[in-house]
Amino acid sequence: MGISSKIRASFTVLLCAVSFVGFSQTGKFKVTLDAGHGGKDFGAVHSGHIEKNIALSVVLKVGKILENTPGFDVNYTRKTDVFIDLIERANIANRADSHIFVSIHCNANPSTSPAGTETYVMGMSKNASNLEAAKKENDVIILEKDYKEKYKGYDPKSPETLIGMTLMQEEYLDNSITLASKIEDNFTRSVKRNSRGVKQAPFMVLHKAYMPRVLIEMGFISNAKEGAFLDSEEGQNDMAKAIAEAIISYKKEYFGNGAVEVSDEKPSDKLAPSEKVAAPTVVETVAATTEEPSLKGVVFKVQIAASGTKLELTPSNFKGLDNISMTTDNGTLYKYMYGATSDYNTARQLVAEAKGKGFESAYVVAFRDGKKVSVQEALK
């Protein structure tokens, strides 16, 4: 369901004023790209397709295109597989005084039939499917430390409660719709994707970004054909090009081909004193809670699943695989791993075994003295 022309018209005059008053300097057009999820937050997982990985890959490709385009300055919320709070993602864009904020995700559905792209702008919606989309993306806050205090007054199971929090949606709505429309048009015209339209929903990651901002659902990884497309190099290149070209078109429409005039009222000026300082990047380590004694030295395991449900570590729960271990992050997400070896080649054989049992997204993880490290570091 698209946004009505009436909504757009009601803010046109206001947004033109916001976009062009009080300019005093010139510079590059600043874009903050946000790869949805990351680290302990896998996002949607279906048939071996993992949302956090696809989103990051596309974001890096969009960023590379823009970095090679004169007049652009690209900022990222994450460039690696790390977990970042939702509000911190917005604040990264605010502190950079970005002109736009673009959050990139993949969709999923219990049914394998739905397919198509959607691009959301911040707003309140009574549409059930829009609210459900917001609920799925907002649910990640329960993985954040002290989330009940940080998001006091907000219930992740009821996105409508965001209406009671401070919103800046109206000030940037028209510009956000323009950007979202360009993205969806490019998906349809350039990549031949089915567009489900521009929509409004109360996404937590958008509501505190003080600039035009959109959240892109690139397609349904629960749909076999679309999931394979999004998880392919060709598909990601095509989607990234479509997104980047839409951003370039938006910049040209609002700021022309030259240097960008910078407003006296910057996003960073709207931050509270505590928000002006960047939050430390969270690097995941193995949680203290584990179902087996910590192993010394370098150990490779095969991660086969991550779930909010705690399972008994019996072969019947893991398609016949034994030697299963589990770690948990404060009881909110359980990670299940198969095998344990100090030999990397043996670990790769274990990956093949796990995939043979149906765990198509299985991959090697590494630990040193019980703490998670990158495989590259472990191999050193």
Per-residue CA distances from 340 to 184, 226, 374 (Å): 46, 34, 16
The answer to whether the beta carbons of residues 77 and 94 sit under 8 Å apart is: no
What pLDDT is stored for residue 289 in this prediction? 33
Token code pair at residue 327:
């770690």
pLDDT at 19 over 70: no
pLDDT in tens, 119-150: 999 875 545 454 455 455 555 544 555 645 54
Give 97's pLDDT tier (boundaries 50, 70, 90): very high
pLDDT at 66 over 90: yes
pTM beyond 0.85: the answer is no
List, by residue range, all CATH 3.40.630.40 domains of the chain: 5-275
Pairing of strands 213-220, 117-122: antiparallel
Q: How big is the chain, counted in residues?
A: 380
The answer to whether the beta carbons of residues 329 and 143 sit under 8 Å apart is: yes
Give, in words, the CATH class of 298-379.
Answer: alpha beta
What architecture is the 5-275 domain classified under in CATH? 3-Layer(aba) Sandwich (3.40)
Q: How many helices (H) and strands (E) does the chain have?
A: 11, 15
More confident residue, 22 or 241: 241
Please give the share of the chain, as a percent, with pLDDT higher than 90.
39
Query: Cα–Cα distance between 196 and 207 in angstroms, integer?
Result: 22
Read out DSSP for 225-283?
HHHHHHTSHHHHHHHHHHHHHHHHHHHHHHH-SSPEEEESS-GGGGS-GGGSSPPPPB-
List, by residue range, all CATH 3.30.70.1070 domains of the chain: 298-379
Per-residue CA distances from 373 to 305, 351, 369 (Å): 18, 18, 10
What pLDDT is stored for residue 76 in this prediction? 97
Quote the crossing angle between the two packed helices 51-67 and 233-255, to the nearest 10°: 50
Least confident of 70-74, 107-111, 278-282, 337-341: 278-282
pLDDT in tens, 333-354: 788 899 988 888 888 889 888 8
What pLDDT is stored for residue 4 in this prediction? 45
pLDDT in tens, 234-258: 999 999 999 999 999 999 999 988 8
